[in-house]
A and B are shown apart, each in its own frame.
Chain A
């Protein structure tokens, strides 16, 4: 009996170690899955061409040109995609995958955006917001589209 408890504790330790590894590799919050035409990714003041497969980080900004579009999948299974002449900033993405709790705030500064919300919005109705320059959208686990004109 004590032996079993000991083994369980040991396994728990291993799992905890593994957990810290997984979280380290999941520092990225999402990934670019589709990209067409002119798309750039701005990170810490640097701008680079966005390519399919690129990992995303909090505070990244995606910009599409007149012929551009981009689609991303977030760590909580949220799917976002922007059409032409759009600016989308990933302002905040705090996600605890064990509890599905967290916070996801994005802003569509201009352009068009399609949203399919993910595991966080499903877990708690106030976890996800999408802003435009004039409005705040509270997402109650759903699919929608929005535009912001400049």
Chain B
């Protein structure tokens, strides 16, 4: 739905036309993907063992990256919403860097930090831990780009939680951790879920940082977007079919999101 007409008013054509153009701009390529897909070859792709591997790699790394982003992004978002400390705006700006940074640059930065001769990578290598071109690197690359979505969503969600409820919980005997887990988090849940879903979607589609830091090693670091690009060099039809799988996953994420904030309001009961 484009929008309901305001009572007694009309949607001005000057707004309606560009809005429809924008919608078509999104819908047409998606439609093209579906229409031009070699559906007759679907069976061969479904049987393909490499697809299973790629899909599994994508889901596993995406889930791990989301978990990592949540584990660090939730406390960070809480800190930005509730903490009163100097340099908070600097912290917020820093947390948003991966959002503005081109992913390839992010991947390069990760390589310089965690690569074999990187800032932290060199001592890690001495300890026998080599990150680049491993699944761990793919997870790190995805978490890097997904983190800001969690931080932003959690900060907004926590800020909207009534502080008086946290204070009352404390007066009832709940320590800070209990207040956070039993009161703040449940009340921030809708925003938290939205942040997690967006982070997962972003991790799933991550390309630039992953290819730079983790490479496109088949069966090891090659996730769906990397596979789509790889296959595209040789066989366009196959690439389209792989892309459809990604499209289906994205659709699932959007359906999951609908409950948390696209539909507006909370999704309890």
A, B assembled together: no
- A residues near B (Cβ < 8 Å) are none
